[in-house]
Structure formats: C-alpha cells, structure tokens
Amino acid sequence: MLIFENIPAAASIYQRAASLSISKDFAEKQSGKVPMVNHQGSEQENRRRELLSVEVQAQQEKIIADHGEEHFRKQTMQNFFNQVRTKINSDFDNKEHLYHHVLEIEDACPAILDILSARAASVNQIKGLAASLPWLTLDLINLVNKPQYRKRADVQVTDAKLALSYIGLDNLKLVMPTFTLKHWLPTSTAPYGLMKRKLWNDSLSIALAARALAKEQGLDEFTAFTTGMLSNIGRLAVTRCYLTTFSEMHKVELRKAFESKDKRLHNVLSKIEASEELLLEQLTMRSSQLSADLIEKMNFRRLGITEPIFDLAYAEAIDKMHPIAQIVAKAKAFVAFRALAKEELIDGDESKTLLGSVKLTPAEITLLKKSDIDHIKLNFN
C-alpha cells in the first residue's frame, strides 16, 4: 500500500504487523526484540585450561572443515531460494494461474456477491449459483443447524436452498463474503502454524471495522464490509503460492540428491526450512497489487469494490482515495496497531505514526475500540 510506503516510519511498522502474521518470534526478531544468550560463562570455562598441542591441531582442522561446510550450506541455501524466488515471480506474473489454480476461484462466487449488492436482490436469484458450489452448500447447511440458529431443536436442515431462505438477504451480506474468503484461505500454513488463523482473523476484523466506519459515515455497509474482507485476497495468494512452491521444490531437490547419492547435499537440503524473510518480502511487495489484479478479474458489474481496492494498492495519499478505500485503509491501520499492541511490539510514538498515516481521528479510534470487530452477529427472526 503506497500510503504506508510513502511514509518510511509507517512502512516499517506496517511491515512489522505483516511479520507478526507469519509468527510472533519472527516479528520480535524483525523489531530487534530478541533475547540474547549469554555465552560469557562458557567462554571463561574454556579459558581455564590449556589445550594440548594435539588438541590445538584438531581444533584448527575442525574450524577449517566447519568453515567449508558452512560455506557449502550457505551456497546451497542461496541457490535453492533463488530458484524458489524465480518460480514464484513467474507464478505471480501469471494472473490466470493464480486466479484459477492457486486460489481456485469459481465464477459463481463473485456472481453471488454482485447479486447481493443490487437493490432488487432476492434469495431466489442466488439459489442456483450457491448449489453449484459444494463447499458453500455445506457451510450454509452447517450454519443454520448451529444450536443458536436452529428454528426447532428437533429438526435439522439438509437442503441448501432451504438454508438460504432461513438465512435471508441481510445475513447473507455478511455470510457470503465471509465464507468466500474462508474458502480461499491456504489449506495449511505449515511451518507457520498460527498464520492461517491470523490471516482469517485480520481479514474479518478489517471487514467489521470498515463496516462500523461506513455505518458512522453513512456509506454502504455491504460494500465496505466486502471490500475490507477481500482486500486481503492478495495476501492469501502470496502465502498459498509461496508455501506450496517451497514445499514442492524442496521435495524435488531432496529426491534428486537422494537418487544421485549425494549425501552431503541431501543432509543440507533436509535442514532447509521455508524462509520467513522471503515470504515477508513477497507479502510486502505484492499483496495489495495482487488484490487489485484478482478483484479486477472478477468483473463486478454492480458491486463497487474494484476502484477502492485499486486505490488501496496505488493511491499515494488517503485524501486521493475513494471514500470506501479510505475507511478500509483506516480499518487496516487500526487492526495492525491492535495486533502489535497486544504483543507489545509498538510504542506510543509508533502508534501515532501508523494511525496518523491514514488520518484516523480520535472519534474513529474510540468507535473502533468499543465496536466488536472480532465476531459476526447474525439476526435470525
């Protein structure tokens, strides 16, 4: 997002929030908040005895051998991650591949969202499209059968069309963007176990915060909520693409080393883990632009989120943004601030810098602090 990139201090803080979505340990490392190990005691212990000449020679040979192994390890890692970077750069340039094969976006998803944005929308217009998405029909049925939403405790709904009728249009305006983004989340974010949940929680909180600001300003709540929810689609694409590419390429290189009986190479490759730095680099560099590219491919005719999403990616100042983009930018800054504050990774001056970069007013901060931006509240009559 250019509005953060144009303010170096804000860019650094926002990047720290992105690193926190990968892992807390990585965010602490990025911010310099890393516990230091005191080796003084062991060093003093080593000095207490003199080494025999044979030990000195053996130690020197070990240092030389270790240096050679370390050089080989670094070269192997550098070569491997250069290959990974080349492959993901190629994948990111191929928007069709990202749209249809990485996120696997079905045409029915944006079509349903488009219908929901129309004043004359009806549940009947959605039923056929929803039926074409097996994952959605299952989610809808599971939703209406939750104890708090069931019309009768002894009756379970098994038909998706009936479930849609129970849910109703107003609830669907919250449910559909939510279920859609949830479906596009990475299946797994291993080795970053909590990242999937953080991506989901951040997206939901941004959407709900944007909705709360839109209501206050008299803007369309559905457009604000959907823009906020889908504004993270680029981040999902980057995460899925990087982790999948790393895993597949790592397996291939390991198999090659095994088949060529190169034990030294195999040992080094087996210890390589996904690079947090490379993932953060790609998230920072590509997420917002990819969101714009992917939303554009959805070809919305009624739902006015394409221009706001492009403004989030390319507008240089908050004042130059579409009104919906402005409130989503404010929601993103507030959610990033809240996440960093919870982990004590942001101080008072940094908070002012981050929130000030999107011109979030004291009244808006108060509104968001008292609003529940973590849970969707549905109203079943």
DSSP secondary structure of 232-266:
THHHHHHHHHHHHHHHHHHHHHHHHHHHTT-HHHH
Looking at residue 100, its pLDDT comes to 93
Residue 37 has pLDDT above 70, yes or no: no
Per-residue buried b or exposed e for 72-98, using 16+ beta carbons within 10 Å of the residue's own CB: ebeebbeebbeebbebbeebbeebeeb
Residue 305, in any domain of the structure = yes
For residue 289, what are the contacts with CB-CB under 8 A and spacing of at least 6? 234, 313, 314
Looking at residue 282, its pLDDT comes to 94
Looking at residue 71, its pLDDT comes to 86
Residue 166, in any domain of the structure = no
Residue 35 has pLDDT above 80, yes or no: no
Which range marks the domain in which residue 322 is found? 2-28+95-104+188-370
If you ran DSSP here, which 8-state letter would residue 151 be given? S
Torsion 320-324-326-328 (CA) sign: negative
Q: Are 16 and 345 a contacting pair, CB within 8 Å?
A: yes
For 30, other C-beta atoms within 10 Å of its C-beta total: 20
Looking at residue 45, its pLDDT comes to 42
Express each pLDDT in 239-287 by its tens digit: 999 999 999 999 999 999 999 999 989 998 999 999 999 999 999 999 9
Q: Between the CA of residue 226 and those of 71, 202, 240, what are the distances in Å?
A: 49, 14, 21
Residue 270, in any domain of the structure = yes
Residue 34, in any domain of the structure = no
The percent of residues above 90 in pLDDT, for the chain, comes to 78
Express each pLDDT in 100-129 by its tens digit: 999 999 999 999 999 999 999 999 999 999
Looking at residue 55, its pLDDT comes to 57
Residue 146, in any domain of the structure = no
What's the number of domains the chain is made of?
A: 1
Distance CA 231, CA 205 (A): 12
Express each pLDDT in 277-293 by its tens digit: 999 999 999 999 999 99
**Which tokens is 365 given?**
């901060």
If you ran DSSP here, which 8-state letter would residue 35 be given? P
Residue 100, in any domain of the structure = yes
Residue 121, in any domain of the structure = no
